[in-house]
Amino acid sequence: MNDDPAALGQALRHWRDRTSPQDLGLPLGGVRRAPGLRREELAQLAGLSVDYVTRLERGRATSPSPQVLAALARALRLTDTERDHLYLLAGQAPPATGRISAHIPPSVQRLLDQLRATPLSVHDAAWNLIYWNPLWAALVGDPSPWRGREANIVWQHFTDRPTRVTHTPDQQMRFETALVSDLRSSAARYPRDKQLRTLITDLRRASIRFDDLWASHTVGFHTTDSKTVHHPDLGPVTVDCDTLTIPGHDLRIAVLSAPEGTGTAAQFDLLATIGTQALT
């Protein structure tokens, strides 16, 4: 492994310069000295501070964490090979086979970009939230401040964290059964993933419901189902939720939708206008 801050900074600047803001759906925003992303835009996309991105590019920040590297790889649309090179430049081991990856390949990201009018979120095989679009944040709530376990959907649900989403009893049972079954399948595919094993152990200690479902080996699958999101300004918003999986990358895309011409579809249009800002 390399661990050369200057080489890391050079690579980040190169990848930032080649990334078109238009391809990411960002406004051009006045005169640009270069066609690529501004540091501020990369920081926003990766969920980092502008100061930290600046220090990385200038070789003044050392040993960025795997979480930071994964966020930069997603924001810069790096291929698998480029992502591995980024990790090596930072002195980190690339994500190993047998462990869960949070990488979103560029082809999948382009698909997500084309669904801007639909609230959606992306999760890894442990149900950690790794990407969301602005409409999802406007509807469900801005997840930017979430850290660690706060960003894990299974942990959120089974430890009864505050949420805008509610289910009927039948919907909740289907949802919980599918989550636990999915996590059990991931544990079988990634037996060397220490974070996943720790998550499951902690969930069994923290939640009687989770422990009972885990011990019962009940099998369930994510199918189209409905849920209600209680938006602070729009009130109850009933949506259909589909979970799509990406073969070969073990990602889950949760897509919230509504039939054309319905009240919910009209609420989506209003959300696209107001974003995460409160109505007045």
71: left (phi over 0), alpha (psi -120 to 50) or beta: alpha
Name the nearest CA neighbour of 116 among 279, 277, 275, 280.
275
- Sheet with 225-231, strands from edge to edge, namely 129-132, 120-123, 251-257, 235-246, 225-231, 165-166
Domains along the sequence of the chain with CATH? 5-89 (1.10.260.40), 106-274 (3.30.450.180)
Structure-token pair, residue 70? 């994964």
Pair 210, 158: CB distance under 8 Å: yes
| C-alpha to C-alpha distances, 115 to 12, 108, 110, 164, 165, nearest whole angstrom | 27, 11, 9, 22, 22
pLDDT at 145: 87
Alpha-carbon gap, residue 169 to 174, rounded angstroms: 9
Q: Which residues of the chain have pLDDT under 50?
A: 278-280
Structure-token pair, residue 150? 């706060």
CB atoms within 10 A of CB 4: 16
Mean pLDDT taken over the chain? 87
Q: At what angle do helices 208-216 and 194-206 cross, to 10 degrees?
A: 120
103: left (phi over 0), alpha (psi -120 to 50) or beta: beta
| C-alpha to C-alpha distances, 20 to 25, 31, 32, 109, 139, nearest whole angstrom | 9, 14, 12, 14, 28
Alpha-carbon gap, residue 198 to 204, rounded angstroms: 10
List CB contacts of 156: < 8 A, sequence separation 6 or more. 150, 163
pLDDT at 2: 54
Q: What are phi and psi of 83, to 5 degrees?
A: -60, -45
pLDDT in tens, 16-31: 988 887 666 666 666 6
pTM above 0.85, yes or no: no
Alpha-carbon gap, residue 110 to 113, rounded angstroms: 5
